[in-house]
Amino acid sequence: MEKQSPRELILKTLREKSTMKQDVYDNTFKAFKLMKSVAKALVAEYKAEIAAIDKRVVIEYRDKGEFEFELRVAGDLLIFAMHTNIFDFDKTHQIWKSSYVKDEPSRSFCGIINIYNFLNDSFLYNRINDLGYVIGRVFVNKENHYFIEGKRQLGFLYNDFVHAVIDAKAVRSVLESTILYCLNFDLFTPPFDAIKEVSVSDMQAATESMQIKTGKRLGFRFQVDSDEID
């Protein structure tokens, strides 16, 4: 085979890989816009029913720009953020065990939509030391196939990368599973030994803007949070 020149290699790579990555980006962006649309519809659907149960319980959608939106569900805040870059997976990742990817390695390149769970009060009261957690990562490839890495139902309900294609029905299911997860992921009191000493400056800061750190699993690593719901 005739050796290709650097110019030919550059053009070949741009034609094959860069074009493919742009396709992945476009698919991920379309999926994110669909997620926004479905989220708004979902909130409108649930709002009246929740208000009839208890007007103090809030569910709302907030658009934060092209690549971010929020869902407030009672005391929880879910932040959905699309990354603008495209990623491949380490060769040890389970994705490479699939014939779907083995047959066409470029299918492994994905865009990412990250899902974060915070306490709404953390932002309301500017508690900058509070903790939030990544509870799921949605991966979308050039063929609109998707899967999710995440906790509990987010991890095991959405892992059929070979067959699962992202559409409005799939997005609604993901959003509802995400809401259910955060509602069942309760706020635990921090261990007493972690808070038994408080400095004057901490107390002054807490008085001014409630700076004592709060998180749903404060004092424990999120990675070891049990996947079982009692």
Please provide the DSSP assignment of 149-214 as one string. EESTHHHHSS--TTT-B--HHHHHHHHHHHHHHHHHSPPPPPPHHHHS---HHHHHHHHHH--S--
Secondary element (H or E) of residue 228: none
The identity of residue 190, as a single letter, is P
Of 15-19, 107-111, 149-153, 175-179, the one with minimum mean pLDDT is 149-153
Write the pLDDT tens digit of every residue in 8-36.
888 887 888 899 999 999 999 999 999 99
Most confident option among 29-33, 90-94, 179-183: 29-33
Task: Yes or no: say if 133 and 21 are a contact pair by the CB < 8 Å rule.
Answer: no
The pair of structure tokens assigned to 195 is: 């808070």
Write the pLDDT tens digit of every residue in 139-165.
999 999 999 998 777 877 899 999 999
Instruction: Tell me what pLDDT residue 9 has.
Output: 84
Residue with more model confidence, 142 or 5: 142
Q: Which of 130, 129, 150 is nearest to 139 (CA)?
A: 150
Instruction: Tell me what pLDDT residue 14 has.
Output: 83
Write b or e for each residue in 136-161: b if 16 or more Cβ atoms lie within 10 A of its Cβ, otherwise e.
bbbbbbbebbbbbbbbbbbbeebbeb
How does residue 72 score in pLDDT terms, banded at 50, 70 and 90?
A: very high
